[in-house]
């Protein structure tokens, strides 16, 4: 991978000139961490470089005690023989891309990113570079996100409709990022909002950062009783179908994910509704980023790597190829069984 200043190794993406790993999946001496999702943040490293918000997530979520060099987005740091800076990725609170400059060449590692607006994090910033390593979680033309206004209109209508029928509304959303985005988007005047403990744990960094979120209560028995038939409950997907859910019956359920744009996943989820809310770039967002970066070489990781790199090569004439990593996509930090099985999503060439 001579064209990128990082190369995949057993432990993660290694940057020789800076002597650091970027988002390693195994403990290493020095790690630059793009954001706090579990497939990008490994505890046990000797030291870390991360944005201040990601640093606070690393401490709360993983109990990381190792020194974290907090690097504000846009600030440069000499690391080894390289110059390293972080730039907003628009994915979740604190998420950044990593820009590495060495030997007269610039590489940008996007980490996870989204180009659509999100009130819970700093907007994505396109960074010019010679070589780009982009994710491709939703790198098929079939993925095109609706506007937030349309999606949250639908969420609010569904919640209001459930209240009229005396039913609770449960939204499954990943506890870091997606859950807070849902909170920020709903109309809190409809009824009380309860959150699962895993979601509640991840609210502090958002409050610290001054992100406006509606008032919530922990979804304990008492709170469930008091708000019966009116509440919106936000829980991680791992709570679906567990006894934890019983205190909210009768309820309607929904899943908030980019995968909801694909036919078939709804049934697999066994939820009543699917809302297309993703924290990753859609097809247009990915293409736009690649083109605006001006990169002469594009490495593709994290998703539809083969399909997306082939499109860049064949249709846009950009030198591109897949780069093998272990990042998991929109399952992120939850357990393996939250991953949408590959048979549920369109295979190569299946989308148009
Ligand atoms: Zn992520
Ligand atoms: Zn990821």
Whether the CB-CB separation of 155 and 27 falls below 8 Å is answered with: no
How far is 137 from 2, CA to CA, in rounded Å? 24
**Chain-centroid distance, C-alpha 12:** 19
Alpha carbon dihedral 186, 36, 208, 97, in 10-degree steps, equals -90
**Chain-centroid distance, C-alpha 26:** 20
pLDDT over 70 for what percent of the chain? 90
Query: Which pLDDT belongs to residue 325?
Result: 83
* Ligand 1 center to 2 CA (angstroms): 26
Does 335 score more than 50 pLDDT?
no
**Which positions ≥6 away from 114 have C-beta within 8 Å?**
89, 90, 91, 124, 278, 279, 280, 281, 285
Domains 7-143+279-344 and 148-275 alike in fold: no
Query: Which pLDDT belongs to residue 270?
Result: 80
* Ligand 2 center to 166 CA (angstroms): 38
Could you read off the pLDDT of 42-99 as tens digits, one per residue? 999 999 999 999 999 999 999 999 999 999 999 999 999 999 999 999 999 999 999 9
* Ligand 1 center to 135 CA (angstroms): 10
Buried b (16+ CB within 10 A) or exposed e, 200-230: bebbebbeeeebebeebbebeeebbeebbeb
Number of the ligand closest to the Cα of 91: 1
Q: In Å, what is the CA distance from 108 to each residue of 4, 84, 162, 339?
A: 9, 10, 45, 27
Write out the CATH class of domain 148-275.
Answer: alpha beta
Number of the ligand closest to the Cα of 35: 1
Tokens 């982009």 identify what position?
134
Q: Which residue has better confidence, 329 or 154? A: 154
Helix residue ranges, H only, 282-321: 283-293, 305-316
Number of the ligand closest to the Cα of 94: 1
Number of the ligand closest to the Cα of 121: 1
Alpha carbon dihedral 204, 208, 214, 219, in 10-degree steps, equals 10
* Ligand 2 center to 146 CA (angstroms): 21
The pLDDT-based confidence of 265 (bands split at 50, 70, 90) is low
Provide the whole-model pTM: 0.92
CATH number of this structure's domain 7-143+279-344: 3.60.15.10
Could you read off the pLDDT of 201-246 as tens digits, one per residue? 999 999 999 999 999 999 999 999 999 999 999 999 999 989 999 9
How far is 92 from 37, CA to CA, in rounded Å? 9
Number of the ligand closest to the Cα of 176: 1
* Ligand 1 center to 215 CA (angstroms): 25
The pLDDT-based confidence of 132 (bands split at 50, 70, 90) is very high
Among 303, 301, 285, smallest CA distance to 293 is for 285
Query: Which pLDDT belongs to residue 351?
Result: 29
Strands 105-109 and 96-102: antiparallel
Task: Return the domain boundaries, the chain.
Answer: 7-143+279-344, 148-275
- Average per-residue pLDDT in the chain? 91
Question: What H or E segment, with its residue span, contains residue 85?
Answer: strand 82-88
Q: In Å, what is the CA distance from 314 to each residue of 136, 317, 319?
A: 17, 6, 9
Number of the ligand closest to the Cα of 178: 1
How far is 160 from 150, CA to CA, in rounded Å? 15
Query: Which pLDDT belongs to residue 147?
Result: 96
Whether the CB-CB separation of 168 and 229 falls below 8 Å is answered with: yes
């Amino acid at each position: 991978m001579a064209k990128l200043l990082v190369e995949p190794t057993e432990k993660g993406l290694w940057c020789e000139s800076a002597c650091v790993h970027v988002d390693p999946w195994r403990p290493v001496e020095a790690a630059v961490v793009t954001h706090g999702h579990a497939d990008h943040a490994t505890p046990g490293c000797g030291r870390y470089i991360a944005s201040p918000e990601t640093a606070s997530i690393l401490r709360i979520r993983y109990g990381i005690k190792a020194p974290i060099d907090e690097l504000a987005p846009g600030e440069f740091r000499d690391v080894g023989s390289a110059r390293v800076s972080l730039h907003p990725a628009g994915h979740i609170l604190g998420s950044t891309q990593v820009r590495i400059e060495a030997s007269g060449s610039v590489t940008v590692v996007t980490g996870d990113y989204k180009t659509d607006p999100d009130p819970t994090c700093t907007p994505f910033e396109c960074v010019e570079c010679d070589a780009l390593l982009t994710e491709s979680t939703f790198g098929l033309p079939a993925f095109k996100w609706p506007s937030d206004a349309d999606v949250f209109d639908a969420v609010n209508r569904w919640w209001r409709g459930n209240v009229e029928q005396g039913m609770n509304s449960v939204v499954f959303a990943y506890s870091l990022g997606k859950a807070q985005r849902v909170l920020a988007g709903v109309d809190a005047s409809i009824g009380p909002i309860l959150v699962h403990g895993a979601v509640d744990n991840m609210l502090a960094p958002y409050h610290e950062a001054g992100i406006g979120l509606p008032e919530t209560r922990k979804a304990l028995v008492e709170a469930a009783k008091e708000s019966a038939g009116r509440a919106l409950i936000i829980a991680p997907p791992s709570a679906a179908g567990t006894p934890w859910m019983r205190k909210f019956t009768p309820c309607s359920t929904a899943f908030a994910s980019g995968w909801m744009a694909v036919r078939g996943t709804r049934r697999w989820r066994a939820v009543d509704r699917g809302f297309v809310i993703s924290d990753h770039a859609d097809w247009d967002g990915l293409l736009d980023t690649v083109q605006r970066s001006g990169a002469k070489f594009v490495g593709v990781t994290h998703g539809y790597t083969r399909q997306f790199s082939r499109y860049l090569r064949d249709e846009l004439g950009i030198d591109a190829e897949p780069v093998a990593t272990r990042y998991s996509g929109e399952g992120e930090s939850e357990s393996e069984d939250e991953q949408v099985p590959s048979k549920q999503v369109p295979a190569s060439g299946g989308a148009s």
